[in-house]
């Protein structure tokens, strides 16, 4: 079974979708942009205004010599201007290339050299300063213009490279723009295999792979997402996933094609201000939702013992009811209490209008989805990767949703499970290919299936279950093999844990590094309990359905939450296992030495 209700919505490209929506709803609010300045009102951008900014950006790029086959580097935080420049480049059949705005200097310079842009778009002088040491090489490679939100000093640019500001290009009353009729003709000439974006993977393996996404792949992904999310023109989503992340584009493009609104937040610290504007849905990676759950659990744990026990019992009953396992009067009464005592404050914190939560970009811990579902907030998990335009399969807002499942496969993809469990895909949402030939090696099977690197299985009800990453598989010295992700997710879903990393490759048994908030560690100690022993018993209890060899026998306890250690996370908030191993190498070695000594 594939995602039901998928329909073709017409346009072959997103510039065509923009024109169709802007002509249909010119005065409707497309974006409410949350400004960095505290207390300032959001900036409103209508569909008509956004289309005009794309026409102005296209005039600027064309005057800068940009044409078919050229590349535009986008190295900036999310903004309407980011997408205006990108869509303008697509209109000219050039290829935009998006980088994560928080990349360090070395990574940003290396990627810019691989892109070889004709025009570079940056947000600030500080962003350009990351690229400036390679400015001469970039100019030699074809860089002609740098467009920025802040003026750049003349000495910051090499000879022959000119500077322009966003205010002068997009906002000035006399800024040149392509006339609507000419723009429509350029847009109409677009085709499905034209470039949409050159996007770089998040670098979990150390190398950023350049993924070349065509219009066709993104169109197909949005059609599937439309069916999965059940969004309507009356919706307004909170948008804060970066444009370096394919899911950030999927949400933006769904709104663009359908005509619903977005509340745009460019900084994570401004998310509460975006929520205060009352979005009807959220779309994020699981880690952001996990922080909400952690805060609820912390508040519950701080209550007096009788109240804490009641609320915890109510939350457990609510999960049973939401999953169809709690049918008795007591469970239903407790579930109602949980939705009032916990669910109402959570909904209020999310702006009061949220009807659904969408999650993608990383696997969702089962307990996290169950938590929100139990509070009456549908939690819809989508699964995909950059190479598949962000969509391989999805659960459904209108049902069914199976917690722990990646949902129903896209009707645009053929799926195959290899003998070793790796998922192969082929079809309409697949990329054109990688930027560099070295990344193409062994990426496909001889008959054209893309090797996802994910271990998966298709269940009897037609849903896809993703077990973990093939490259992350741990092999104990006993020969037993473990997929760490499901084990880590199960531990991280159980209080008081705020993250987990499974250990044991080449070792005689599995162990785990667990992240625990310092107040919880102090509370256990104050109650006279052994901290390692108490936490180990809780971690193993969270793994009730796992085999004995999959359960950790020792813990490495790290104070705080995994999210408190940004050096361990990719820009898409996935764990960098190699970074963790380097950071904790001595401690892990000592843990296994202590275990060996204890057995003697």
**184-200 pLDDT per residue, tens:** 999 999 999 999 999 99
List the strands of the sheet with 236-239, edge to edge. Answer: 43-46, 29-33, 261-264, 236-239, 281-284, 356-359, 379-383, 393-394, 408-409
More confident residue, 312 or 57: 57
For range 168-179, the mean pLDDT: 95
**217-234 pLDDT per residue, tens:** 999 999 988 888 989 999
Calculate what percentage of the chain has a pLDDT beyond 70: 98
Q: State residue 7's pLDDT score.
A: 65
Q: Place 319 in a pLDDT band, splitting at 50, 70 and 90.
A: confident
Global confidence as pTM? 0.86
Beta strands in 247-392 (DSSP E): 261-264, 281-284, 356-359, 379-383
For range 91-111, the mean pLDDT: 94
For range 42-52, the mean pLDDT: 97
Q: State residue 226's pLDDT score.
A: 86
For range 478-498, the mean pLDDT: 87
Is residue 347 packed enough to be buried (19+ CB in 10 Å), middle (13-18) or exposed (0-12)?
middle
Q: Does the pLDDT value for residue 205 go beyond 60?
A: no
For range 147-161, the mean pLDDT: 88
Mean pLDDT for the chain? Answer: 91
Q: Place 60 in a pLDDT band, splitting at 50, 70 and 90.
A: very high
Beta strands in 6-53 (DSSP E): 29-33, 43-46
Q: Does the pLDDT value for residue 207 go beyond 80?
A: no
Q: State residue 329's pLDDT score.
A: 83
Are 263 and 34 in contact by the 8 Å Cβ rule? The answer is yes
The kind and range of the H/E element at 353 are: none
**551-565 pLDDT per residue, tens:** 999 999 999 988 889
Q: State residue 600's pLDDT score.
A: 61
Cα-based distances in Å from 185 to 16, 91, 206, 321, 345: 10, 10, 43, 56, 51
Joined tokens for residue 315: 């939350």
Which three-class secondary structure state does DSSP give residue 342? helix
DSSP state for residue 575 in the 8-state scheme: B
**506-516 pLDDT per residue, tens:** 888 999 999 99
**63-94 pLDDT per residue, tens:** 999 999 999 999 999 999 999 999 999 999 99
Q: What are 425's strand-pairing partners?
A: 415, 450
Q: Does the pLDDT value for residue 203 go beyond 70?
A: no
Question: Picking from 51-65, 323-337, 434-448, 578-592, which range would have the lowest pLDDT averaged per residue?
Answer: 323-337
The kind and range of the H/E element at 163 are: strand 162-165
- Walk me through the domains of the chain, giving residue ranges and CATH numbers: 14-29+42-217 (3.40.50.980), 286-352+355-471 (3.40.50.12780), 473-599 (3.30.300.30)
For range 18-24, the mean pLDDT: 96
Pairing of strands 210-214, 433-434: antiparallel
Are 178 and 66 in contact by the 8 Å Cβ rule? The answer is no
Q: Place 4 in a pLDDT band, splitting at 50, 70 and 90.
A: low
DSSP state for residue 264 in the 8-state scheme: E
**428-438 pLDDT per residue, tens:** 999 999 999 99
Tokens 């102090």 identify what position? 522
Q: State residue 216's pLDDT score.
A: 97
The kind and range of the H/E element at 178 are: none
Q: Which residues contact 151 (CB under 8 A, 6 or more apart)?
A: 125, 163, 165
Which three-class secondary structure state does DSSP give residue 589? helix
Q: Does the pLDDT value for residue 304 go beyond 90?
A: no
Cα-based distances in Å from 388 to 256, 433, 481, 496: 20, 10, 28, 35
Q: State residue 42's pLDDT score.
A: 96
In whole angstroms, give the CA distance from residue 79 to residue 32.
10
| Helix, strand, coil percent content, the chain, rounded in steps of 5 | 40, 20, 40
Tokens 């018993």 identify what position? 537
Q: What are 359's strand-pairing partners?
A: 284, 381
Q: State residue 299's pLDDT score.
A: 84
Q: Place 326 in a pLDDT band, splitting at 50, 70 and 90.
A: low
In whole angstroms, give the CA distance from residue 88 to residue 105.
27
Are 502 and 512 in contact by the 8 Å Cβ rule? The answer is yes
Q: State residue 297's pLDDT score.
A: 81
Question: Picking from 98-102, 224-228, 570-574, which range would have the lowest pLDDT averaged per residue?
Answer: 570-574
Calculate what percentage of the chain has a pLDDT beyond 90: 64
In whole angstroms, give the CA distance from residue 309 to residue 274.
33
């Amino acid at each position: 079974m594939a995602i039901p209700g998928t329909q073709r919505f017409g346009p072959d490209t997103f510039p065509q979708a923009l024109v169709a929506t802007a002509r249909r709803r010119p005065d409707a609010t497309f974006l409410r942009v949350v400004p960095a300045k505290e207390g300032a009102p959001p900036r409103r951008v209508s569909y008509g205004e956004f289309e005009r900014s794309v026409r102005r950006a296209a005039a600027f790029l064309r005057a800068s010599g940009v044409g078919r086959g050229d590349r535009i580097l986008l190295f900036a935080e999310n903004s309407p201007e980011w997408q205006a420049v990108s869509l303008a480049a697509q209109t000219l059949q050039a290829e935009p290339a998006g980088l994560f705005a928080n990349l360090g200097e070395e990574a940003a310079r290396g990627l810019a050299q691989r892109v070889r842009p004709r025009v570079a778009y940056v947000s600030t002088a500080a962003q350009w300063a990351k690229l400036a040491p390679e400015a001469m090489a970039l100019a030699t490679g074809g860089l002609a213009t740098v467009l920025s939100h802040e003026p750049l000093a003349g000495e910051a640019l090499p000879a022959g490279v000119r500077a322009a500001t966003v205010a002068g290009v997009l906002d000035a009353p006399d800024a040149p723009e392509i006339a609507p009729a000419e723009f429509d003709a350029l847009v109409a000439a677009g085709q499905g295999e034209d470039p949409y974006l050159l996007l770089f993977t998040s670098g979990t393996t150390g190398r950023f792979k350049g993924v070349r996404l065509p219009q066709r792949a993104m169109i197909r992904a949005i059609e599937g997402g439309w069916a999965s999310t059940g969004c309507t023109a009356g919706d307004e989503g909170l948008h804060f996933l970066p444009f370096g992340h394919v899911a950030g584009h999927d949400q933006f493009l769904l709104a663009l094609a359908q005509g619903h609104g977005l509340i745009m937040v460019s900084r994570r610290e401004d998310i509460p201000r975006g929520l205060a504007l009352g979005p009807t849905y959220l779309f994020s990676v699981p880690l952001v939702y996990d922080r909400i759950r952690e805060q609820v659990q912390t508040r519950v744990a701080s209550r007096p013992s009788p109240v804490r026990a009641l609320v915890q019992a109510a939350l457990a009953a609510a999960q049973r009811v939401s999953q169809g396992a709690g049918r008795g009067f007591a469970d239903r009464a407790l579930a109602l209490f949980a939705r009032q005592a916990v669910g109402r404050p959570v909904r209020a914190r999310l702006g009061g209008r949220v009807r659904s939560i969408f999650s993608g970009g990383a696997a969702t811990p089962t307990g996290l989805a169950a938590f929100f579902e139990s509070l009456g907030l549908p939690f819809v998990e989508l699964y995909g990767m950059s190479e598949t335009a962000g969509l391989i399969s999805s659960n459904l807002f209108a049902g069914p949703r199976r917690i722990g499942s990646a949902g129903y496969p896209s009707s645009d993809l053929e799926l195959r499970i290899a003998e070793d469990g790796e998922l192969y895909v082929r079809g309409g949402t697949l990329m054109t290919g990688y930027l560099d030939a070295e990344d193409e090696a062994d990426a496909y099977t001889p008959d054209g299936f893309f090797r996802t690197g994910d271990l998966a299985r298709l269940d009897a009800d037609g849903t896809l279950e993703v077990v973990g990453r093939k490259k992350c598989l741990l092999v104990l010295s006993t020969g037993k093999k473990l997929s760490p992700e499901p084990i880590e997710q199960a531990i991280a879903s159980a209080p008081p844990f705020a993250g987990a990393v499974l250990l044991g490759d080449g070792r005689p048994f599995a162990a785990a590094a667990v992240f625990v908030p310092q107040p919880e560690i102090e509370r256990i100690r104050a109650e006279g309990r052994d901290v390692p022993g108490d936490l180990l018993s809780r971690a193993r209890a969270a793994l009730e359905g796992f085999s004995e060899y999959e359960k950790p026998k020792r813990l490495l306890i790290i104070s705080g939450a995994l999210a408190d250690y940004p050096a361990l996370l990719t820009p898409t908030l996935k764990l960098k296992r190699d970074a963790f191993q380097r950071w904790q190498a001595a401690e892990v070695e000592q843990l296994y030495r202590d275990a060996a000594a204890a057995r003697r």
